[in-house]
Amino acid sequence: MTDPVPVAVLGARGRMGQEVCRTVEAAQDLTLVAAVDIGDELSSVADAGPLVVIDFTHPDVVMDNLRFVIEHGIHAVVGTTGFTAQRLDVVRGWLAAAPDVGVIVAPNFGIGAILSMRFAELAAPHFESVEIVELHHPDKADAPSGTAAATAHRIAAARAAADSPPIPDATTTELAGARGADIDGIRVHAVRARGLVAHQEIILGAEGETLTIRHDSLNRSSFMPGVVLATRQVAAHPGLTVGIDSLLGL
Ligand SMILES: NC(=O)C1=CN([C@@H]2O[C@H](COP(=O)(O)OP(=O)(O)OC[C@H]3O[C@@H](n4cnc5c(N)ncnc54)[C@H](OP(=O)(O)O)[C@@H]3O)[C@@H](O)[C@H]2O)C=CC1
Ligand SMILES: O=C(O)C1=N[C@H](C(=O)O)C[C@H](O)C1
């Protein structure tokens, strides 16, 4: 039997971090060597000797964390949101100097959420209209969600590849925000309400029919199979991997 993979968790006292620590401790092939949160020294992560760092912190700090981890030759599984195309390019730049290091950045590790994004991408060119509604707990720092932004980018790319016409919208008078955010021409609406965890609807419309693709994360255990899969595989995937679709064969 091989030794368990040493894992450190950043954001360990947070909602996701606590769930990830419990999951790592319960997995026979993984071992938790550091659980770090705000106020702890990042150097304690390197001192603990992890093969993989899992980051669920905050969009404002995740880039500093990633640079530290990559510079120390540690693989990273990142669930923290806030990754723009520019940020991903910066990560690729750091990885160019550390070609053996693997980094997986995924806006959503829930298998159902990942599938729903794929379904939306497939459906979008076949419908005149498409809008996204994401619904989350009110303690969430970022809006719209990373998942919604990624879904919008993928839908827009699929529509562009299919030469889809612009989405119809006759709005000429608007209270700011009423039509949501515009991400690559796709309208994204964010709802925050106590009791919710993480939910998303992609509403597609054509003459005489609508299709609604809905995903619900009812608790944070929904993200754990994807996090564990990425943690097990990241060392075998040097460079930057965005999303875990490829690990799932999608
Ligand atoms: N990819 C996915 O599948 C998922 C992604 N997420 C994303 O993960 C991130 C975290 O979400 P969630 O757990 O709900 O948020 P929380 O606020 O509950 O947890 C974040 C934790 O990170 C801590 N933290 C802040 N700065 C640092 C730092 N510099 N070093 C170490 N820890 C730090 C926070 O401390 P403090 O509270 O004191 O600031 C907090 O304990 C968000 O970006 C969220 O969108 C969430 C769910 C699933
Ligand atoms: O903050 C959350 O809770 C979540 N964040 C991720 C996102 O912004 O997409 C993933 C999931 O929606 C839960």
Ligand 2 center to residue 235 CA distance, Å? 25
Residue 142, burial from CB neighbour count under 10 angstroms (0-12, 13-18, 19+): middle
Whole-prediction pTM? 0.97
For 46-82, the pLDDT digits (tens) are: 999 999 999 999 999 999 999 999 999 999 999 999 9
199 lines ligand 2 (CB under 6 A): no
- Tell me if 37 is assigned to a ligand binding site: yes
Return all residues near 96 (Cβ < 8 A) that are at least 6 apart: none
**Pick the catalytic residue: 72, 126, 140, 153?**
140
Nearest to 73 by CA among 105, 104, 106, 95: 95
The whole-number pLDDT of residue 16 equals 98
Residue of 18, 20, 22, 37 to mutate, ligand 1, most atoms within 8 A of C-beta: 37
Q: How many Å lie between the centroid of ligand 2 and the Cα of residue 144?
A: 9
User: What ipTM, to 2 d.p.?
Assistant: 0.98
Task: Spell out the per-residue pLDDT of the chain, length 250, in tens.
Answer: 789 999 999 999 999 999 999 999 999 999 999 999 999 999 999 999 999 999 999 999 999 999 999 999 999 999 999 999 999 999 999 999 999 999 999 999 999 999 999 999 999 999 999 999 999 999 999 999 999 999 999 999 999 999 999 999 999 999 999 999 999 999 999 999 999 999 999 999 999 999 999 999 999 999 999 999 999 999 999 999 999 999 999 9
- The rounded Cα 172 to chain-centroid distance in angstroms is 34
